[in-house]
Amino acid sequence: MTSTTTEDLRTAVVLDAARAMAEAGGPLPTPELARLAGVSERTLRRAFTDLLGVGPRAFGQAVRTGAVRGLLRDGAPVTDALLGAGFGSVRAFYETAGETMGMPPSRYAAGAPGEQLGWTAVRTEVGVVLGVVSPRGLCAVRIGPEVGPLLDDVRAEFPGALLDRDDEGLSAIGAALGALAAGHPAPALPLDVRGTAFQARVWDALTRIPLGETRTYAELAVEVGRPTAVRAVAGACARNRLALVVPCHRVVRSDGGLGGYRWGLTVKRDLLAAEHAWTAEDDVEVAG
C-alpha cells in the first residue's frame, strides 16, 4: 500500500465522520462514527489526529460551537473547512461555495477583507433588529436589546469587512425587517446565504413555512429529505444568521414546546403571537 493510498483512505474516513457531525450539528459517539466510516475506533482517532491535529470529539465540539469557521480565519487550509462543511471533495466545495457561503472560501477565511457591508437598524416590539447587506443581498439579521452588541457580533464574523451605516439607502430593508418583527408579511428580500449545503436546504425550507403557521423539527427533516436528521435540522436552525427573513422561529418541538431560539424564547413567543394575530385578522376580513 503506497503512502498516497494510505492518505486517501484516512481522508475518506475523516470526511465520512466529519460529514456526519456537520449534519448532526456537533459531536457523535466515537463507536457510531467508526461504524459509519467502516473502520475501528483506533483507526478513526488516528486519522483525525494525523490529518487535523485533533480527535473526532474535539472536532465535533468545534462544529457545535462554530469554531471550524474560526480555524479558517486562523489560517488552516481550506480543505479543513471542507471537512467541517461536510462536502465530499475540494471540487464539490468550490462548485457550491458561491451559493452556500456567498463569497469564495478564501475571502471568508480572511474575514471578508475589504468587502463593503452596509447596515441599518430598526427598533421594534421584540427589540432592535439589525440588518447587514452585502452586494449580493442580506447576509445577517440580528435581534437584541441594543445596537452595539449586535454590531460587535457582526464585526467578529466579518473582521476584514468595511461596515457602513446607511439608514436612508437601506430604508426598504429596514421597513421589511420592521414588518416581519411585527408579524406582518414583507416583500421578498435578496439573500446572501452563508452556510453549508445541508444548512442551505433547511433554511430554504424555512422560508416556505407560511406566515402564522409552524412546523416541527421532525416535519422539517422530512421536508428536506432527511427524516432521521432531526438533530441536524435543529442545529441548522440554531445557526441561521438571517433572523425573521429565514423564519426559524416558526419551528417548534413535536410536543408543542417552543424549542430553542438564538434571540430568546420571549422573542420567539412574541413573534409567533404577532403572526397568529395578523393572520387571524386577515381571516376575519376575508370572512366579512
Cell numbers standing for residue 80: 479543513
Closest CA to 131 of 31, 25, 243: 243
Tens-place pLDDT, residues 51-103:
766 778 877 776 665 555 544 444 444 355 554 454 444 444 444 444 444 55
Task: Give the chain's mean pLDDT.
Answer: 80
Question: SS3 of 256, please?
Answer: coil
Question: 104-111 contacts: CB < 8 A, separation 24 or more?
Answer: 105/72, 105/78, 105/81, 106/78, 108/69, 108/72, 108/194, 109/72, 109/73, 109/75, 109/78, 109/81, 110/73, 110/160, 111/73, 111/158, 111/159, 111/160, 111/161
Q: What is the DSSP letter of 246?
A: S
What residue type is 162 in one-letter code?
Answer: L
Indicate whether 165 pLDDT > 80: yes
Residue linked to cell 443581498: 137
Q: Cβ atoms within 10 A of the Cβ of 125, count? A: 12
What tens digit of pLDDT does each residue of 200-248 get?
Answer: 888 989 999 999 999 999 999 999 888 988 988 998 999 898 999 999 9
Q: What is the pLDDT of residues 4-24, one digit of tens each?
A: 456 667 777 877 887 787 777
Q: Which domains does the chain have, with CATH numbers?
A: 3-88 (1.10.10), 113-288 (1.10.10.10)
pTM over 0.85: no
C-alpha cell at 74: 486562523
pLDDT above 80 for 277: yes
Angle between helix 197-207 and helix 230-238 axes, rounded to 10 deg:
80
Strands 137-144 vs 127-134: parallel, antiparallel or unpaired:
antiparallel
The residues annotated with a catalytic role in the active site are 248
| Beta-strand pair 137-144/162-165 | unpaired
